[in-house]
Chains A and B, each alone.
Chain A
């Protein structure tokens, strides 16, 4: 049996809190079963890697999911505190270390953290509480049923006597670990479901929050890396004479960076300050063999996609017999929708700090994937995982980009060769031009209608795009990843989703909501186009098509109510609706637009979300606001490819939505006792289609290409 072992001394170091902390609890192994833990040294201490309590009743709770803005830093401890019965404003929150053996998978992607950890965290909190109660019952010689735990205290209900958790912790840690602790009923929650203020926020308003780029350690060197302007360009020649003369430059080294199976070359300038590295890089003369990679433009790529769209592709989903309806002379309509490549552009540019020597390695930085970096360093440098330490910091945004380990790999390579810790910092230009990117796509939707009965007989949605999981190699078969965000639950008897896989050398990766950021634009726009053909209200049409679904109808009705959907439109205004499920969360959105001085802009965006139990409603609202604004930026901006390279270099040509462009945003969360769904991407998938549908409502013009050309709408 593998019992996780952690030394007590080491554990105390992690807390950063002085004083004697006694740990109680238990540890789930990877099967989820609770096991006591050997604390090492000469005594056995049962403990819990999430909960520390000291004799003065201080409570430290650990968050083990990296924080990139999504709020797990507060939400994970909220779940623990709920079942442990401690006051949420009195706890101290610390980030755990990265250790898959102790904490399981810590990667933060796909809005999975809360939905995956909810039950586990409840069990961790409840187990600890039951052990404290057992200790109190023993001390008072009364049954556990006569002990009530609340606010970090246990009350003897017979006498009214009170003991703190701190009084009991020493005894509690030797109590048996409960096999199946009793969990609270959702109706009794006092923390979960409350808009609890986040403890990370004050650190982010006075400059003390530490991000990867802020790491400063003894002997640190800095690197900036020159890369080919086309993606797979090879180094022809390097003249580094001038670069080496720059004060502070220590070395110029060729580097390699692997991205989804393809190796990209670079030339790194390593210096004793970042600025010297940048100056050295500017002084480099590198000529590149661009091969045939400089041929493509956004237009040629889309032309190729359009040619491919004539192929049948692979069936990803099918019901009924769509082939009996299409191309048979029935009333058929079709439409094509385009979306461009997008960049993640988290505000903190990509960076990583790594020290590698013969016996150990250490990483400091902003990552969505701490376990992945640990595994990489361990394998690549042949080190036991126990000799690889991962210090993950707050991230200045992630959006999927920081789930990759590429920058840590660059820093590790340079560190090993320089025999010093190295911090690699990408410029914003590196970030925008090198990618990987959100995929571009062509979606072709068609439907067969019975206009007499005003019904949709068949619908086919064909996705023509690169697939993240299948970027290299010869396989041409489209996978299910391609169909993300297509609502197959619409009650259309003959329904098919097809994928036509595209292979290109332009690297793509996970971007907030992934294919949900492209496919629903087509699907939910097309549903509106069908409503128009059948002369139905777009919201009523959806209600009719989704009436048997357990969640969507209520959301549509509520969003109609909140936005006064059925009232006549005021002059120069329009409304559009869309609905999508992402990571379990279901949401319906109405975008309201107006035309002022010839310009169309969104004025208000209302979303109704059902995401099961909502741990922190204020965080969910913040996430929805952020998703909407990221989605809106993607309605205004898209990456352009020319000569095989990304045209935009920085925020001057790829601006994010600005303060004054932000519409009013209103978010409503449905009360629910279902298990939690993912909250981090809700709202993004519906923005583009609801916006396009609203513009159609206002102007009668249908936008089928992202980013929107709003200037042509005047």
Chain B
């Protein structure tokens, strides 16, 4: 059987895994990209959100075989130096508490901005409602998104 070929954060990987393994566990346990988190395993909480061809996807339920040949971006590929406008805003607003869901929050927000750099409040809500946070960082996420949108329109 030909090995799976994955393109993650611009790098090609050929993990020795079966095709039905969810992308999440391939990223975490085989590629060492542990920034993407396991939260529910049923695509409800959003902690496992990554970008596939720029769109937000819940990696906990998508079989890895369905992601070959596509551009996968994880939190590590957003910007390791925290220079993405969303990351800057997240740090400025001191968003994370435990931080566990924040990769998902950031990737969802990034997908939203990819789609529409000037989303309405309803669009922001529709996207961000998909990512749960037990620490209750939503008020700060709201502020961080607002300030990001402001900085993007000022550019």
Least distance between A622 CB and chain B CB atoms (Å)? 6
Interface assignment of A428: CB less than 8 Å from any CB of chain B: yes
Our pick among A197, A201, A275, A627 for the contact of B136 (Cβ within 8 Å) is A627
Our pick among A198, A207, A396, A651 for the contact of B132 (Cβ within 8 Å) is A651
Least distance between B104 CB and chain A CB atoms (Å)? 9
Instruction: Give bound CA distance, A198 to B97, whole Å.
Output: 10
Instruction: Give bound CA distance, A204 to B68, whole Å.
Output: 28
A662 touches B98 (CB 8 A): no
Considering only residues 360-418 of chain A, those with a C-beta below 8 Å from chain B are 394-399
Interface assignment of B34: CB less than 8 Å from any CB of chain A: yes
**Contact flags B33-48 to A (C-beta < 8 A → 1, else 0):** 1111111111011010
Interface assignment of A337: CB less than 8 Å from any CB of chain B: no
A626 touches B136 (CB 8 A): yes
Closest B residue to A632 by beta carbon equals B136
Interface assignment of A237: CB less than 8 Å from any CB of chain B: no
Least distance between B62 CB and chain A CB atoms (Å)? 13
Our pick among B45, B74, B82 for the contact of A347 (Cβ within 8 Å) is B45
Our pick among B90, B95, B98, B141 for the contact of A348 (Cβ within 8 Å) is B98
B100 touches A211 (CB 8 A): yes
Instruction: Give bound CA distance, A689 to B2, whole Å.
Output: 61
- Please indicate the chain B residues that have their CB under 8 angstroms from the CB of A394 in the complex: 98-99
Instruction: Give bound CA distance, A660 to B138, whole Å.
Output: 8
Interface assignment of B134: CB less than 8 Å from any CB of chain A: yes
Least distance between B19 CB and chain A CB atoms (Å)? 11
Interface assignment of A561: CB less than 8 Å from any CB of chain B: no
**Contact flags B138-153 to A (C-beta < 8 A → 1, else 0):** 1111100000000000
Least distance between B24 CB and chain A CB atoms (Å)? 9
B82 touches A202 (CB 8 A): yes
Interface assignment of B101: CB less than 8 Å from any CB of chain A: yes
Chain A's interface size range is 35 or more
B91 touches A202 (CB 8 A): yes
B35 touches A399 (CB 8 A): no
B28 touches A214 (CB 8 A): yes
A625 touches B139 (CB 8 A): yes
Instruction: Give bound CA distance, A502 to B35, whole Å.
Output: 43
- Please indicate the chain A residues that have their CB under 8 angstroms from the CB of B106 in the complex: 205
Interface assignment of A427: CB less than 8 Å from any CB of chain B: yes
- Given A71-B97, A207-B103, A651-B40: A399 in contact with B136 (beta carbons within 8 A): no
Considering only residues 309-351 of chain A, those with a C-beta below 8 Å from chain B are 345-349
A69 touches B80 (CB 8 A): no
- Please indicate the chain A residues that have their CB under 8 angstroms from the CB of B95 in the complex: 201, 205
- Given A214-B34, A273-B29: A427 in contact with B41 (beta carbons within 8 A): yes
Interface assignment of B96: CB less than 8 Å from any CB of chain A: yes
Our pick among B22, B41, B94 for the contact of A198 (Cβ within 8 Å) is B94
A207 touches B134 (CB 8 A): no
Interface assignment of B79: CB less than 8 Å from any CB of chain A: yes
Interface assignment of B10: CB less than 8 Å from any CB of chain A: no
B40 touches A622 (CB 8 A): no
Interface assignment of A650: CB less than 8 Å from any CB of chain B: yes
- Given A626-B136, A650-B42, A651-B132: A204 in contact with B99 (beta carbons within 8 A): yes
B41 touches A656 (CB 8 A): no
**Contact flags A188-216 to B (C-beta < 8 A → 1, else 0):** 00000000011011111111111101101
B129 touches A208 (CB 8 A): no
- Given A425-B38, A665-B139: A659 in contact with B128 (beta carbons within 8 A): yes
A216 touches B32 (CB 8 A): yes
**Contact flags B64-92 to A (C-beta < 8 A → 1, else 0):** 00000000001110111110000100110
- Please indicate the chain B residues that have their CB under 8 angstroms from the CB of A346 in the complex: 98, 100, 134
Least distance between B83 CB and chain A CB atoms (Å)? 9
Instruction: Give bound CA distance, A214 to B29, whole Å.
Output: 8
- Please indicate the chain B residues that have their CB under 8 angstroms from the CB of A274 in the complex: 25, 29
- Across the A-B interface, the 10 shortest Cβ-Cβ residue pairs: A207-B35, A204-B99, A629-B136, A396-B100, A69-B97, A69-B98, A207-B75, A626-B136, A214-B34, A204-B96
Known pairs A275-B17, A349-B38, A656-B134; list 12 more (Cβ under 8 Å): A207-B33, A208-B76, A213-B34, A214-B28, A275-B29, A345-B134, A347-B135, A348-B37, A394-B99, A428-B41, A626-B97, A627-B136
A-B contact pairs, 6 of them (CB 8 A): A197-B94, A201-B91, A201-B99, A625-B137, A658-B129, A658-B132
